Amino acid sequence: MTIKTNAKLRVDKWLWHARFFKTRSLAAARVQAGTVRINGDITQKRASTISPGDVLTFAQGDHIRVIQIDALGTRRGPAPEAQALYTDLSPPEPRSKDKPPENPAFEGKGRPTKRDRRQLDLSKSRHLE
């Protein structure tokens, strides 16, 4: 599952193995853009090597990730295997108070309920009389 501790691996390949990016080319593009730091130093080379004990800092979405490498993987395996490759040192994401609730209450939009539909039918029939 893991390579010896004195071995090294390309940073884009490790980010892909650890499932931070869906494809290796996305990981390589992020490294080449200069948004990945290895032990605090900005790197723009996809072939920069990393080893266990190194700390990676990069942005993922609107969250800054700080990751300590525990092991180097030999393949892109399932999620539990990928999560064993690193320790997440980044602070937890703060909850946003500006975020709307996931399921807002019915505000007269969308499909009416059965009760609303009956009231609508009654009002229409009264209007016709």
Number of folded domains that form the chain? 1
What is the average pLDDT across 58-69?
90
Is position 25 within any domain?
Answer: yes
Is position 70 within any domain?
Answer: yes
Is position 101 within any domain?
Answer: no
Q: What whole-number percentage of the chain has pLDDT above 90?
A: 56
CATH of the domain at 45: 3.10.290.10
Structure confidence at residue 81 as a pLDDT band (50, 70, 90): very high
Is position 49 within any domain?
Answer: yes
Q: Which residues contact 94 (CB under 8 A, 6 or more apart)?
A: none
Mean pLDDT rounded to a whole number for the chain: 85
pLDDT of residue 23: 94
The residue segments making up the domain with residue 39 are 9-88
Model confidence at 55: pLDDT above 60: yes
Is position 115 within any domain?
Answer: no
Which carries the bigger pLDDT value, residue 64 or residue 123? 64
Rounded distance, CA 26 to CA 70, Å?
Answer: 22
pLDDT of residue 2: 53
Is position 33 within any domain?
Answer: yes
Nearest to 51 by CA among 3, 17, 99: 3
Q: What whole-number percentage of the chain has pLDDT above 70?
A: 81
